[in-house]
Chains A and B, each alone.
Chain A
């Protein structure tokens, strides 16, 4: 997505913590979603932020700052199965009534 930026790749160690950042153009913003996608599989919903602050859900947390156009996904106690692409998606970019996805961050968890 041309209006959403996230790193292309990240590598982390099993058991560690990793933070995946996402920045977006704020025009039309009406909510931000994080999805996980394993190779060859469908994206699965992880988290949703519409207000500023931190949303925690088990090992995964997501943070949003609307004024800065910034979000991050925090993954704790990394497991090998967390190796996947993590997609940041914004609702309402440019005034459209739809989700716009970033290109995804490919996370590789190593021993």
Chain B
């Protein structure tokens, strides 16, 4: 069990730039979730995939955010025209199905200068 892998671990960029993060879930997991976490808060749901289908998106997810899971395996999360408020830890998790324990990756910490 190699666990959920996320890359990069850290990303520092200037405001206005685009960034892309990658998540590789546990291989037999068909559900993949993206969360955002800021200091002192719990993870906040962004979106999730069942295989390659994106089934739900948070209302908090602005149109600057887009996520894909083209072959039902790895996923990417892209943020366009980054803003200061996007600074956070972006966590990916995977599970075997509805209402099953989610296993988290170590996250990508995004810092906007």
Contacts and interface: CB of A to CB of B under 8 A. Distances in A.
A104 B42 contact: yes
B62 interface: no
Nearest to A98: B45
B48 A98 contact: yes
Contacts of B106: 41-42
Interface residues of A, number: 24
Contacts of A50: 99
Interface string A70-111: 000000000000000001010110001111111110000000
Interface residues of B, number: 21
A103 B41 contact: yes
Interface in B8-58: 33, 40-45, 48, 55-56
A7 interface: no
B76 interface: no
Contact of B104 (A30, A44, A98, A104): A44
A103 B42 contact: yes
A48 interface: yes
Given A96-B56, A98-B56, A87 B103 contact: no
